[in-house]
Homo-oligomer: A and B are copies of this chain.
Amino acid sequence: MNSTIGVFDSGFGGLTVLRALAARLPRARFAFLGDTARLPYGSKSRRTIARYAAQSAQFLVREQGAEFLVIACNTASALALDAIQDAVPVPVLGVIEPGAEAARGASRTGDVLVIATDATVQSHAYAAACHAQGLRALEMACPLLVPLVEEGWTGPEDIAAQDASAPLQVAAQAQVEVTAEVIRIYLAELNAEAASLGMNADTLVLGCTHYPLLRPWIEKAVPAGMRVIDSAQAAAEAAARLFGKHESEGHLPNAQFPVTPALRCFATDSVEKFERLGSRFLGWPTGKVDLVDLGG
């Protein structure tokens, strides 16, 4: 029997990490838990986030037999990685350090920008992880980006999915322009602040699993030549390397891809919404999502 990798997020944005993981480890089995009853973590305190994340990690290890955990939630990685590692007896990988390592690989100037949720930014976990890599980092919270993604104001895919009548297309175009403008406002503020601090930033880290869905507009809004790093991708690469060591090398895949991986999804609330929206993050249907009660 192949090993089970547990992937945890406060919502279903972490399915972008699972998608990247499955592409690298097609033979692994996955158990994904979205703590949707208690999201968003991004506006909560460290104490509360640590308690919620530890309960969620224990569910994946004790109930689902996960032998390896990937914390896809940037906020939980930033504020509760220690608490999770204390709560379960298996290796645990967050997204912050892989993101900082990828930024080091991408940056020539050593100055990087990070956009994330409020709680992730207030923890300064990315700044610390970047500093440990010899980088200087400036972080900014962008609280409107998650709701814009969840509202589906993200452009062509959503436009295509809707009725193709002209008024709807006009409305969708106006929605996409709002999203692009919000991104421009945030990044203009961040770049102006970096310049005022004398930074010569050449790399932007997407420190939230929702942000990869906004990548086309983010790429357009950054200054020419700035590299955009996706922490989800970076974490998946790091997890595949670590998991390869953890497992016998012989287990590692040579399989054809894409295949639909062995995946079970769990959520603490709103399973229908999870099933409906999760596929946008995962890239294929989530299948039936089971409701679990963590006692919150």
Contact = CB atoms under 8 A, between A and B. Distances in A.
Contacts of A174: 181, 185
A222 interface: no
A45 interface: yes
Contacts of A167: 192
Given A147-B147, A182-B178, A185-B175, A45 B296 contact: no
Interface in A13-45: 36-39, 43-45
A123 interface: no
Interface residues of A, number: 32
Contacts of A182: 178
Given A37-B38, A178-B185, 19 more contacts: A36-B44, A37-B44, A39-B43, A43-B273, A44-B269, A45-B270, A48-B269, A143-B147, A143-B151, A144-B153, A146-B147, A167-B192, A171-B185, A174-B181, A174-B185, A175-B185, A178-B182, A181-B181, A296-B296
Interface of A: 36-39, 43-45, 48, 143-144, 146-148, 150-151, 153, 167, 171, 174-175, 177-178, 181-182, 185, 188-189, 192, 269-270, 273, 296
